[in-house]
């Protein structure tokens, strides 16, 4: 069975524009293109789209997803790289949270604010 681009967009919670972009960048080619120019997808394409959307949900960029799908990067390796990035981001956010909490405490206590403490974890 083949599904139209609109059917797949609705089923997957994405847009037909996104699916066309995935086609343009070579991530998800339609199974066939009808005489009317409409894109149609089979079960294999649906499975591939599911993997793409999962990897996107995990935060991987399209080039990394392409590498995983092409077998150039093991799925686990791509996820490990992304996990390391998430851990660094979590540490940065923890520093920001600490800086904001410290600022609140000092403001509520009428204490002197130290600029060095206020911006820990912020990108500058």
Give yes or no for a contact between 100 and 85, defined as CB atoms under 8 angstroms apart: no
Shared-domain flag, residues 11 and 27: yes
Shared-domain flag, residues 48 and 22: yes
**How many domains are there within the chain?**
2
Shared-domain flag, residues 49 and 22: yes
Q: Which domain covers residue 32, as residue numbers?
A: 3-73
Judged against a pLDDT cut of 80, whether residue 56 lies above it is answered with yes
Judged against a pLDDT cut of 80, whether residue 73 lies above it is answered with no
- DSSP assignment string, 15-43: -HHHHHHHHHTTS---SEE-TTS-EEE-H
pTM reported for the whole predicted model: 0.64
Shared-domain flag, residues 68 and 80: no
Q: Is residue 124 a part of any domain in this protein?
A: no
Question: Lowest-pLDDT range, 37-41, 70-74, 99-103?
Answer: 70-74
Which residues of the chain form beta strands (DSSP E)?
3-4, 32-33, 39-41
**pLDDT at res. 124:** 55
Judged against a pLDDT cut of 80, whether residue 41 lies above it is answered with yes
Name the region of 68 (left: φ>0; alpha: ψ -120 to 50; beta: rest).
alpha
Alpha-carbon dihedral angle through residues 15, 20, 25, 27, given to the nearest 10 degrees = 70
Q: Which residues pair with 38 in a beta bridge?
A: none
């Amino acid at each position: 069975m083949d599904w139209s681009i609109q059917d797949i967009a609705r089923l997957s919670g994405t847009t037909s524009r996104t699916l066309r972009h995935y086609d343009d960048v070579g991530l998800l080619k339609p199974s066939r293109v009808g005489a009317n120019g409409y894109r149609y997808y089979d079960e294999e394409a649906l499975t591939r789209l599911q993997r793409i959307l999962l990897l996107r949900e995990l935060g991987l960029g399209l080039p990394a997803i392409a590498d995983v799908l092409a077998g150039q990067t093991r799925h686990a390796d791509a996820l490990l790289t992304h996990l390391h990035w998430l851990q660094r981001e979590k540490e940065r956010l923890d520093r920001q949270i600490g800086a904001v909490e410290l600022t609140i405490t000092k403001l509520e206590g009428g204490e002197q604010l130290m600029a060095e403490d206020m911006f820990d974890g912020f990108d500058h």
